[in-house]
Amino acid sequence: MLASALISLLIMGRQAQAYFVLGQTPMSTQRIDPIVNPGKEASHVHSFAGVNTVQMTTSLETLEGADCTGSGIQVDKSAYWAPTLYAFDPAKAEFTRLKNTFTNTYYFNRNGKSTKEIEAYPKGIRFLSGNAMATDFDSETVEQITFVCLRGSSPGFESKTLPADFTTCDYGLRLQIHLKTCYDGKPLDMSASDHSAHLAWAGSGNTGDCDPDHPVRLPSQFHEWVYEVNKVAPGSQLVLANGDTVGYTFHVDFISGWDTDVLKKAMNDPSCDEAAFSPAKCAPLSSHIQDDKIKSECPKQVKLSVTEEIDGPLKALPGCNRIFNGPHVGKDKPNACASPVPAGVYAENLYPDPINGGNEHGDRKANLDNDFRQFSSDDGSA
């Protein structure tokens, strides 16, 4: 926990002071997605944080039934997950899963010019931030994503795409994203698998105001998923579990299992303003801190929903995902898979194009060789 806090603080740069931060113990890695593919295998592998009870079908009752959480806060029975990071060795045409060393979840008290209190998440709300179908840079979605190389002996760097020189990241590569924070206030259909349509990002890099259609300000979550990347084979390429070597499709899914009263108090209590990596300093959270031993032992109780080889070396990404962008398109082995990618919103990538063969939604299947674009590094802040 101390190490993860120091690594993050070393290169926070222009980031605002965190309201409070949950140093998450990695919980599991498996090919499920209770929001996008409820009740069945997902199209790609995810890394999970939060409670240890997440299954293919995950309800609020599933979360609340957990007796421990990797977040360290007993009343945070939430589930957090993101696509797993792999390394592709083109010399062998093999994939190897990289270790998710830790995850930090920041809860910022950001409200733009509003003087209203931050509201707690509605009980059981579930949504994702980021676009797993993205094939290009766009200001609304990919603006929320950055990648930070953590170095010990020299300054790190931040980029909008997965870096090529990642083996110099001695302390890991940090995959970062802001979650949507503005809510339309409408009642949620708790039988729905996804409530993302009710949410939007705030303006000005997620620090500004909510738009009039989404007037309710929720906690501003900022995620850091850190992976060990300095031990991979020379010449390897980083690739997300869905086949993305650029990083445009990075995303985070979230189901809230918070005690709403505690969370609202924590988001509005002055004692929490500088709690940062010591949430026990936040008065509303201080009586809900989980024992460190329980936190560290929590992953051992996970019951995997899908049992398959996901670590590698593998001849194909789990779920039979192909590399679909970057310099190694077509260099992996498509025939290494026994079955196709499961049906779902991640099954094919679409690119907006109302003229050249677009469907009724103005989309065509992406030409992922030609549509790929590499953007230069861009400094940013949380």
CA 70 to chain centre: 15
Its pTM stands at 0.83
In whole angstroms, what is the distance from residue 258 CA to residue 239 CA? 32
Instruction: State residue 19's pLDDT score.
Output: 84
In whole angstroms, what is the distance from residue 119 CA to residue 4 CA? 28
Instruction: State residue 364's pLDDT score.
Output: 29
In whole angstroms, what is the distance from residue 46 CA to residue 23 CA? 18
Instruction: State residue 379's pLDDT score.
Output: 36
Residue ranges per structural domain of the chain: 2-365
Instruction: State residue 378's pLDDT score.
Output: 33
In whole angstroms, what is the distance from residue 55 CA to residue 62 CA? 8
Listing DSSP states for 318-332 in one string gives TTTBPP-SSTTTTTS
Say which residues have a Cβ less than 8 Å from residue 214's Cβ, sequence separation at least 6: 182, 183, 184, 185, 198, 199, 200
CB 284 within 8 A of CB 267: no
pLDDT by 10s per residue, the chain, length 382: 444 444 444 434 334 444 899 999 999 999 999 999 999 999 999 999 999 999 999 999 999 999 999 999 999 999 999 999 999 999 999 999 999 999 999 999 887 777 788 999 999 999 999 988 887 877 677 778 999 999 876 667 889 999 988 988 999 999 999 999 999 999 999 888 889 999 998 887 678 889 999 999 999 999 999 999 999 988 999 999 999 999 999 999 999 999 999 999 999 998 988 888 899 999 999 999 999 999 999 999 998 998 899 998 999 999 989 898 887 776 666 555 655 444 333 333 322 222 233 333 233 233 322 222 222 233 334 5
Instruction: State residue 334's pLDDT score.
Output: 55
In whole angstroms, what is the distance from residue 16 CA to residue 21 CA? 12
